[in-house]
Chain A
Amino acid sequence: MRRVDPATDPWRRAPSPAGVPVTPAAGLLLDEAQWQQARERWPLGVAVGLWLTNTAEPQRLADDLPRLALLVLSFPKWTDGRAYSQARLLRARLGYRGELRAEGDVIADMLPLLARTGFDSAVLRADQSAAAAERALGFFDCGHYQGDLREPRPRYARP
């Protein structure tokens, strides 16, 4: 579970002047509307990422997933758990293989849940301590009962 430092992160939200299509460039994060407008002519060699609201329907992106290097799922409030289901659908149903990142009101205590639902990176809320985040990932070395995106086997099926 990689913790992303916004200061050094190469990805940035695409500028969005009304109605103007985004000019393809490496490291741009587009929202769904921008992507729909740009997808036809986005060059294969230019890495692109999408930023999704937590009400977005992952199925709509099914055909585009192989072209996406990064998907950012958002947590407007950390107790709003919709993005966990989006993440699971993207990984387990739609076979998304690129980076899956959590952003927004993300606290250290969410990291185990994020890791287990298929996220591989997170931008923690600015006030979160790195030490607490490190510890948060270490409590359940014994594993969990049910399978997840990291360990698909439930406890009873593991040695």
Chain B
Amino acid sequence: MYAYTDFDRRFVRARAAQYRDQLERHLRGELSADDFRPLRLQNGWYVQRHAPMLRVAIPYGELSARQLRQLAHIADTHDRQDAGLPTERGGFGHFTTRQNLQFNWIPLERSADVMDALAEVDMHGIQTSGNCIRNITTDAFAGIAPDEEVDPRPYCEILRQWSTLHPEFAFLPRKFKVAVSGAREDRAAIAWHDIGLQLRRDEAGRVGFEVFAGGGMGRTPMVAARMHPFVPWQQILLFIEAILRVYNRLGRRDNLHKARIKILVRAEGQRFVDAVHEEYRAMVERDLGASALVIPDHELERVSAHFRLPGRLRERLDRPAGPPAAVPPEPADRRWLERCVHPHRVPALRAVTLSLKRAGLPPGDVTGGQMRAAADLAERFSEGELRVSHDQNLVLPWVHQDELPALWAAARALGVATPNVGLLTDMIACPGGDLCALANARSIPIAAAITERFADLDELHDLGEVDLHISGCINSCGHHHSGHIGILGVDKDGSEWYQLTVGGSDGTRASGPAGPGRVIGPALAADEVPDAIEAIVEAVRGAREPGERFVDTVRRLGAAPLRAATDAIRQQPSAGAGA
């Protein structure tokens, strides 16, 4: 993974010092709450329901064991409350769909100390919030997936450096998210991003990007439109700056809900594409300094060197392989191999998902102790490296096949070996109304109730792959739009209700072209949701043809029979209120 240079270190320390100055001015009353807000947001500090929330950047999801230990230390020492319910004492982090980590209980007064603690391990919260270019995300299996055409990580790092404190694009109309995929399978949901980049090789083997823009969720879900079929990699920063400049100048700033680039792309259509191409041409032909945006070969080479196979592992792979590991005898072990162990571009290696979807803890949550234990696993089995996946799990990317039995035992002891990856209980969920000030409804109890309802692994495996996504409000942090089953928390007269959608897709081949699901019927009360999910599952199971995938049956059936199945659940008289 990328190793910080001396410059990178000085830079994050400079940022921490700048933030401390801003915090101290705010605490002294010299910087108003209104002026401080955008400054703290661009360092990852929200103010939430109970306390500030800190979103720590994990660039393109790559995390070292040393960094995870420091995050554990922050969870244990800073993310703490002395009063409140047992669930309100802190001490944990939450991995997000954008491969970041959030803390929920750090007092604002300690925020500058936490930034210093992060800087010690080459971490920060730069641009994890605010109306700027956010953390670049990618495939959790980047650089290791057998179906990869081009390793996206060096490009992600170049994009990270280019976007970090970019002076022209620090105050865009709205937040701006970029995702990159380099594999044939899109595991980064690029079509749902403000800019989606698909790395490709042309017939001559040259590397370039298919560029999409204008995707996004929220109250107006939109799939990104193609801006360019193939931008050579050397030119990609120029092309992205062209998109951002057009957006910065023309994006709406009069209405928060219409400020994302997707609204501009939709309103302008081909005119937007033309404007981007015209801006790109003007940059190339006329701008002083445009050549500094052309990435030279030696810079790609320098950055790529960080992402080579870890050295110790190379040596081990050079030695003759031992006999293949015995097939584990227990059905549960086989299930783990099937669901949590993934093929690797190096034949003797595997990637292993540590499932953070288990009973008793919200999806994506880890306590300080679990972080430390996961760091131990990474050091013991994966060259000290972990990945955070879009689905809110952890991945160990460099596991030797001979060590699978030992890893299986260790992961099971830690409670992160549930063989449910890709299945219904491997759900994406936002923190919801328990923690988030924006949410209309809670996500965590819904996730817990569904986990409990679908605890039977035989049933889960029989059902096959299901994307279940839960958002506590229309901001869609839990990606309900792209779920095969989506659950959206809505507020009606001050109480929590949940609207179901079916047939959404994140854009993977298995799920079909990216697109939002369709709403089925009026919203449900919280205690009706697990019954309704079960009713959908039973209706699909009853109708599916041999070998048919869940989402394909859903599409074939359409919304009407699934709505009918959930109508039987809508017994409570108040459930009819609203549409």
Interfacial residues, chain A to chain B (CB-CB below 8 A): 78-82, 84-86, 88, 91-93, 95, 107, 109, 112-113, 116-117, 129, 132, 135-136, 139-149, 152-157
B279 to chain A, nearest CB (A): 10
A139 to chain B, nearest CB (A): 4
A–B complex contacts, Cβ < 8 Å, 9 sampled: A78-B35, A81-B248, A109-B35, A109-B39, A132-B30, A139-B15, A139-B21, A145-B11, A147-B292
A155 to chain B, nearest CB (A): 6
A147 touches B289 (CB 8 A): yes
- Cα-based distance from A129 to B31 in the complex (angstroms): 10
Which of A95, A141, A156 has the most chain B CB within a 10 Å cutoff? A156
- Cα-based distance from A4 to B174 in the complex (angstroms): 30
With contact pairs A79-B171, A142-B7, A148-B167 given, residues A93 and B131 touching in the complex (Cβ less than 8 Å):
no
Q: Does B166 contact A (CB under 8 A)?
A: yes
A92 touches B171 (CB 8 A): no
With contact pairs A79-B171, A139-B21, A142-B11 given, residues A93 and B249 touching in the complex (Cβ less than 8 Å):
no
Stretch at the interface among B115-123, B280-288, B381-389, B425-433: B280-288
Provide the B1-36 mask, 1 if CB < 8 A to any CB of A, else 0. Answer: 000000100110011011001100100001100010
A135 touches B21 (CB 8 A): yes
- Cα-based distance from A95 to B245 in the complex (angstroms): 18
Residues of chain A within 8 A (CB-CB) of B35 are 78, 107, 109
Which of B11, B35, B245, B286 has the most chain A CB within a 10 Å cutoff? B35
Of A82, A85, A88, A139, the residue contacting B18 (CB under 8 A) is: A139
- Cα-based distance from A78 to B42 in the complex (angstroms): 14
A154 to chain B, nearest CB (A): 6
Residues of chain A within 8 A (CB-CB) of B11 are 140, 142, 144-145
Q: Does B168 contact A (CB under 8 A)?
A: yes
With contact pairs A79-B38, A155-B7 given, residues A84 and B292 touching in the complex (Cβ less than 8 Å):
no
Q: Does B492 contact A (CB under 8 A)?
A: no
Q: Does B169 contact A (CB under 8 A)?
A: yes
B233-292 contacts to A (CB < 8 Å): 245, 248-249, 253, 282-283, 286-290, 292
Residues of chain A within 8 A (CB-CB) of B22 are 109
Q: Does B307 contact A (CB under 8 A)?
A: no
- Cα-based distance from A31 to B18 in the complex (angstroms): 36
- Cα-based distance from A117 to B253 in the complex (angstroms): 21
Q: Does B161 contact A (CB under 8 A)?
A: yes
B7 touches A152 (CB 8 A): no
Additional A-B contacts beyond A93-B288, A153-B292 (4; CB < 8 A)? A92-B289, A109-B22, A139-B18, A145-B161
Of B164, B166, B287, the residue contacting A92 (CB under 8 A) is: B287
A93 touches B292 (CB 8 A): no
- Cα-based distance from A156 to B301 in the complex (angstroms): 12
Residues of chain B within 8 A (CB-CB) of A154 are 161-162, 292
With contact pairs A93-B282, A156-B302 given, residues A113 and B167 touching in the complex (Cβ less than 8 Å):
yes
- Cα-based distance from A109 to B18 in the complex (angstroms): 9
B170 touches A84 (CB 8 A): yes
Q: Does B403 contact A (CB under 8 A)?
A: no
A84 touches B248 (CB 8 A): yes
- Cα-based distance from A143 to B6 in the complex (angstroms): 12
B287 touches A93 (CB 8 A): yes
With contact pairs A80-B253, A82-B249, A113-B167 given, residues A155 and B161 touching in the complex (Cβ less than 8 Å):
yes
Residues of chain A within 8 A (CB-CB) of B248 are 81-82, 84-85
Q: Does B299 contact A (CB under 8 A)?
A: yes
Q: Does B569 contact A (CB under 8 A)?
A: no
B7 touches A132 (CB 8 A): no
A113 touches B170 (CB 8 A): yes
B287 touches A84 (CB 8 A): no
Residues of chain B within 8 A (CB-CB) of A112 are 167
With contact pairs A78-B35, A81-B171 given, residues A144 and B292 touching in the complex (Cβ less than 8 Å):
no
Residues of chain B within 8 A (CB-CB) of A79 are 38, 131, 171
- Cα-based distance from A144 to B170 in the complex (angstroms): 14
Of A84, A93, A142, A146, the residue contacting B171 (CB under 8 A) is: A84
Closest to A135 in B: B21
Residues of chain B within 8 A (CB-CB) of A141 are 14
Closest to A152 in B: B289
Of A93, A117, A139, the residue contacting B167 (CB under 8 A) is: A117
With contact pairs A82-B249, A93-B282, A140-B14 given, residues A146 and B169 touching in the complex (Cβ less than 8 Å):
no
Q: Does B410 contact A (CB under 8 A)?
A: no
- Cα-based distance from A141 to B253 in the complex (angstroms): 33
A138 to chain B, nearest CB (A): 9
Of B161, B168, B289, B302, the residue contacting A84 (CB under 8 A) is: B168
A53 to chain B, nearest CB (A): 12
B322 to chain A, nearest CB (A): 42
Residues of chain B within 8 A (CB-CB) of A86 are 249
Closest to B10 in A: A142
Residues of chain A within 8 A (CB-CB) of B287 are 92-93
A139 touches B14 (CB 8 A): yes
A82 to chain B, nearest CB (A): 6
- Cα-based distance from A113 to B172 in the complex (angstroms): 13
Q: Does B165 contact A (CB under 8 A)?
A: yes
9 interchain residue pairs of minimum CB distance: A81-B171, A116-B167, A139-B18, A145-B161, A142-B10, A147-B292, A152-B289, A113-B167, A84-B168
Residues of chain B within 8 A (CB-CB) of A146 are 161-162, 164, 166
Residues of chain A within 8 A (CB-CB) of B164 are 144-146
A81 touches B172 (CB 8 A): yes
A84 touches B21 (CB 8 A): no
A122 to chain B, nearest CB (A): 14
- Cα-based distance from A156 to B7 in the complex (angstroms): 10
Of B14, B39, B245, the residue contacting A142 (CB under 8 A) is: B14
B283 to chain A, nearest CB (A): 8
B343 to chain A, nearest CB (A): 35
- Cα-based distance from A136 to B35 in the complex (angstroms): 14
- Cα-based distance from A83 to B171 in the complex (angstroms): 10
Residues of chain A within 8 A (CB-CB) of B18 are 136, 139-140
Residues of chain A within 8 A (CB-CB) of B292 are 147, 152-154, 157
Closest to A156 in B: B299
Residues of chain B within 8 A (CB-CB) of A153 are 292
- Cα-based distance from A157 to B298 in the complex (angstroms): 10
A59 to chain B, nearest CB (A): 9
Residues of chain B within 8 A (CB-CB) of A84 are 167-171, 248
A92 touches B167 (CB 8 A): no
With contact pairs A132-B25, A141-B14, A155-B7 given, residues A88 and B168 touching in the complex (Cβ less than 8 Å):
yes
